[in-house]
Structure 1
């Protein structure tokens, strides 16, 4: 049951990120050099499309989603290395600070990648229209309430999944009882 809940929580997070912004393919290619990451992106749109895409992402506060990406990845890497190298804890802690400082700011690459994706998924005029919409009263309300609506939707989805998983579990048990096997 916990596995189902964790899986659905992860799926819910993915759904929320997709609803708020385009997927950040850079997260899937953490170990790849920057040139390899950018080569998987489409070519940047026109300067005006890129400007409009950046403006939309800024209005949606998308940078908040990946603001801690570099420190988070440094921490995860350090923890993984510590598991295999417990004797190097002090050194790895010190190196983590150095690596985090060296790569500070690299999370901005995610924003640029997302802007490129937006500039390729929407025409320049559509991006300008979206920016205008987000500046309107309804657009401002959407920007203000969408995170809460997505959070509530994810909570509902998780609760539904947990309840439905219990129904499915009960059905498995009933079917197994019919076969003379109690689980």
Structure 2
């Protein structure tokens, strides 16, 4: 998967997470252990956390780049510290996993999660899991192309309307 595709994939995942979590704020009920286990199974089947595995290394690398712009002579130390920080912060992915599992466990009943698991283990569910990353990547590319064309059309209309009002464009 390309870096651009990964960024789009992460952005889509984060947007879905934010939208999913909104109604949960009103309900502070803690899900049962069995609900959490089912939610975690869904996360495993879907490979949901793979899109977030690059976040911690990416944040560390971005911080490194910022520091090295200020002082390139610090490369050796900044690189060593970066390696240590990646290891130190890696367990935080488990915290994110727990939060995502809670979202599933509070928004779906145990039966719904069991049905979801059964679906994703079915031939169609497996096909969706296989095809979804490609579908999302192509959808994002199509949306980006569409937005560029729309932007060009809107800009042309602005210029035409401005010319009608006597502005040179």
Using the size of structure 2 for normalisation, the TM-score is 0.80
Q: Please say if 1:22 is aligned against 2:8.
A: no
**Structure 1 counterpart SS, 2:167:** coil
Specify the alignment match of 2:148 in structure 1. 162
Specify the alignment match of 1:146 in structure 2. 132
Change (3 A) 1:45 1:131: same
Q: 1:74 aligns with which of 33, 43, 60?
A: 60
TM-superposed CA distance for 1:11, in Å, is 7.7
* 1:134–1:143 CA contact under 8 A, matched in 2: yes
Specify the alignment match of 2:24 in structure 1. none
* 1:24–1:113 CA contact under 8 A, matched in 2: no
Mapped partners of 1:147, 1:12: distance in 2: 8
Q: 1:58 aligns with which of 26, 34, 44?
A: 44
**Structure 2 counterpart SS, 1:22:** helix
Specify the alignment match of 1:127 in structure 2. 113
Q: Which has the higher contact order (CA 8 A, sep 6+)?
A: 1
Specify the alignment match of 1:29 in structure 2. none
TM-superposed CA distance for 1:49, in Å, is 0.9
Q: 2:99 aligns with which of 93, 108, 113?
A: 113
Mapped partners of 2:18, 2:28: distance in 1: 13
Change (3 A) 1:13 1:109: closer
Using the size of structure 1 for normalisation, the TM-score is 0.74
TM-superposed CA distance for 1:46, in Å, is 0.9
Specify the alignment match of 1:103 in structure 2. 89
TM-superposed CA distance for 1:168, in Å, is 0.4
Mapped partners of 1:66, 1:11: distance in 2: 12
Unaligned runs of 5+ in 2: 21-26
* 2:61–2:82 CA contact under 8 A, matched in 1: yes
Mapped partners of 1:107, 1:82: distance in 2: 26
| RMSD of aligned residue pairs (Cα, Å) | 2.9
Change (3 A) 1:170 1:155: same
Q: Please say if 1:90 is aligned against 2:85.
A: no
TM-superposed CA distance for 1:81, in Å, is 2.6
Change (3 A) 1:94 1:165: same
The number of residues matched between the two structures is 159
